[in-house]
Amino acid sequence: MINDIAPLQLGKYNRLQVIKELDFGLYLDGFEGEEILIPRVYVPEGTEIGQFLDVFIYRDSEDRLIATTLKPLATVGEFAYLKVKDVSKLGVFLDWGLMKDLFVPFGEQLSKMAVGRSYLIYIYIDEETQRIVASAKIDKFLPEVGQVFAEKDEVELLPYEYTDLGIKALVNKCKIGIIYKNEIFKIVNLGEFTIGYIKKIREDGKLDLTLEKIGFDRIDNVKQSILSLLIAQNGFLPYTDKTDAGVIYANLQMSKKDFKKAIGGLYKEKRIFIKEDGVYIIQSE
C-alpha cells in the first residue's frame, strides 16, 4: 500500500516528491522539513525535480532515513518467512531484500536462530529506538480479536515450521494452526503461501488444518484427478485398494482412503472397472 498522505511512514511505501538533485542521489520531501536521500543507484532513469516517486523508507547503519525503490520481502506490520544471514552477540540479521539487513534482537528469539535457516517473524518499529526490527515471538503480535473461523472454511496458509505432529502454519495472517502428518499428501514448502481448509476448531481456539477440501467436493476433485491420470496413462493405473498407502501417495499424491472412495464412486458411475492388476477406464462409445 502506497502512502500519499503525510506523515511519513517508516518501514512502509510512501509517495514522495523530488525536491533536490546532487551527484550522489536525489532528495525527497519527507514532510515537516525532512529531506530524505534516495541514493543514485535506486533512482529511476529520467526522474526529474518535482516528480513523485513511490519509495520504501528505512534507516541506514547511521540511523539516517533512506529511500529506495527496491521492494523488501515484507514491510512493517507484516509476518514473513526470512533467512538468517549473520549472527552477533546482540541478535541476528535477516535477509529481507535490502542492503541493510533486518535485525532480530536477542530477546526476540524463541530459540537460538542459526545462519542459513529461515524463520517466521513479525516486523515492527521498536518504540525506544524507532528502528525497524523483527521478532520471532509471533504469538504476541497475533490479534487478540481476529477473524471468526468455521470448520471447512478455505484459508490462506503460510507453513513455517516442522514439528513431531506435522507442520505449523500461519492462518490468514492472524492465527496459528497445524497440518497433521496424516493430512499431508502433497509437497509443502515452508515459507510459501498455499490454500488450506479448517478441519477442526479446538476448545482452546487452536486450528487443525487440512490441505484438501472437506467432504464430497474433495472426493469429486480426487475422482477427476484419477480420470485425468487414466487418460494420460492410456486408460490404466496399476493401483487397487490392496496397494500400499505409501505407493499411492508417492505416485498419485493422495491418501489411500481418498483413493478408495474415489475409485468406488467412479465404479458406481460406470466410468471405470477394477481388476486385480489395477484400474481401467471405460471408454465412451
Residue 174, helix vs strand vs coil? coil
The predicted pLDDT at position 257 comes to: 87
47-70 pLDDT per residue, tens: 999 999 999 999 988 889 999 999
Q: What DSSP character marks residue 42?
A: G
DSSP 188-217: --TT--EEEEEEEE-TTS-EEEESS--SHH
The percentage of the chain sitting over the pLDDT mark of 90, rounded to a whole number, equals: 69
Distances (CA, A) of 230 to 102, 218, 268: 50, 19, 17
Instruction: Give CATH for domain 2-68.
Output: 2.40.50.140
Q: Do domains 2-68 and 79-140 have the same CATH topology?
A: yes
pLDDT of residue 2: 56
Domain ranges of the chain: 2-68, 79-140, 154-210, 216-281
- Give pLDDT, residue 30: 86
pLDDT at 285 over 60: no
Q: Give the residue from 204, 206, 218 showing the smallest Cα distance to 180.
A: 206
CATH 3.90.100.10 fits 216-281, yes or no: no
Q: How confident is the model at residue 26 (pLDDT cuts 50, 70, 90)?
A: very high
Strand 278-281: give its sheet, edge to edge: 236-237, 278-281, 272-275
| Average per-residue pLDDT for the chain | 91
Task: Please report the pLDDT score of residue 6 as a whole number.
Answer: 56
Q: Which CATH class is domain 79-140?
A: mainly beta
- Cα gap 177→208, rounded to integer Å: 6
Query: Is pTM beyond 0.75 here?
Result: yes
State how far the Cα of 209 lies from the Cα of 186, in Å rounded to an integer.
Answer: 14
Residue 206 pLDDT: 86
**CATH H-level superfamily of 154-210:** Nucleic acid-binding proteins (2.40.50.140)
- 108-122 pLDDT tens trace: 999 999 999 999 999
pLDDT in tens, 143-183: 877 788 999 899 999 999 999 999 999 999 999 999 998 77
Which cell goes with 3?
A: 502512502
CB 116 within 8 A of CB 87: no
Picking from 121, 62, 70, the residue whose alpha carbon sits closest to that of residue 94 is 121
